[in-house]
Structure 1
């Protein structure tokens, strides 16, 4: 039975093709798999698990989308698939309530798990982009429990506005950054893999799907990068007893 890994779906009401494609993928591809790992940025934004309380009366459609996705994941979990969710830079406020309703386990970033008979380091990938110092400063703030508590104490309308503001600021800032700044720092990749004693790393975040050959402490190693999902196409890594396989997958009818 295969283990599947995905990331960077950025689900939101404005991209129904990706949502529908993902739900079909769950039924047609993920159904019956041993485990599914979602490595961050599952949602375009997440303002708190109390969003689920607004299902059926949220004009933005975000609450209904969240409830629908939780129900679909729960169905997969009830059929025997182990589900794991990792925070990304867009949905770092995803909490235990959503995970419980989805039948999933929140996975720390980073985590080492055994896949295909070998230890594999799983990350979202944003912490590897150390040349982007402005982003790393924001990441440290956004992952701090006290800051998160302060944000979650705001009325949900204010949180929605804050999320929109942060996305706009991020888009403007990224448009002025060199491409290599927003990619991983090679030395940081080797450092992370060495610290965790692995020769296989899987992550997302950069939207640059590829398999990279490298060396870690004199040993051959591989870094697998998941791609982001778009209308009509997505990316997965499948592990079925052998080496991970990175695949582009069609999401059509």
Structure 2
């Protein structure tokens, strides 16, 4: 499946300067892949890194998967634009959502330990990714120790991110969980350089409910209440936080 997908991926070879981010894209310096891209000197025309190590800006249509659960691990993906959900398919047909990934965040790095992806990753909206093929890093011409340090730095940032995320979402009531989730989502986007006050979110209420352990009806009811209280505005999957302090009050109490 990965080979089928890769035939559509535009490859950026050596001696080419990465383009500036288009509207809605994360800048390279704000991306989770930056520790490795810096080592590979992709911004340097003299980097001499062969083609196929980093595949840039591949378009992923809404609903398309970039890998399936238990696929052999080959690459780490960074969300250049758009968003993804990761989930574990269930025999019952009701998938368990285990994460959402917004621009600049890494997808699939957990597969490094067991050499298989532990979940399926699907685009929530029209998106794009950069793919770092870890299996090809040995061809980059960089010292092994330098590459290992880059991988460790990527993993360290991911562990720190997951710790912050879990801390933000450990709440009791439905209102607390949802408030913490919305605040975490906007904070993550701000961290990646997205400073606008309104964001496109592709996840459905049922996906949010699966992730937070809530019924989709409960998610809808709480979101409606938040809007009536003037905390948020959510229209056609566009989210605007109107009262961050008010949401924080809900999340913490």
TM-score, scaled to structure 2: 0.26
Higher Cα Rg: structure 1 or 2? 2
Higher relative contact order (CA 8 A, sep 6+): 1
